[in-house]
Structure 1
Amino acid sequence: MRMKLKALLVVLVALIFVGCSTTYTESQSVPRMSVAELNERLGESDLVIIDNRTPGEWERTQIKIAGAVRENPGSINWAGMYAKGSTLVLYCA
């Protein structure tokens, strides 16, 4: 079961990096994390995985990364809620 969850996570993260490329990320040089790096860092206390899908998309899917928190993609008011030293990984797929 754990292997299936890891495989699902790898697929989700791959979709994130392919499907969520935005002009902002490219123009602002936001660092990217590979699937392998994310897998290695899962469980670290300073890693925060944020699901930023719209409420409707989030409710319709049963595929979610365990431990991820959902934040509203239309607002960044939540950004200050996380410790400055944390690594924030945002995904939308």
Structure 2
Amino acid sequence: MFVNGCLWVLRSGGHWKDLPARYGKWKTVHRRFSRWCDAGVWEKIFAALTADRNNQYLMLDSTIVRTHQQAASGKGGPKIRRWGVLEVV
């Protein structure tokens, strides 16, 4: 349920406070998400998923990525938001 809750936030672009109750308390889910980011757990999970070329369950689709309206203005300078994986440049 925790991973599904994280995926819900990342797919929908919603705030953690808007997380449906079926995934647990938003603050608990966010806290664990942050700890996993700091510990590098997400990188290990994605590395394991991408290591198997025959993994039929791995699908990455950029059409699900959304942006908030406020993101277009760029006010307040650059801010780093944890997504679980490092950004590849």
Return the TM-score normalized by structure 2.
Answer: 0.26
- Structure of higher RCO (CA pairs closer than 8 Å, 6+ residues apart): 1
Q: Going by fraction, where is helix more abundant, 1 or 2?
A: 2
Rg larger for: 2
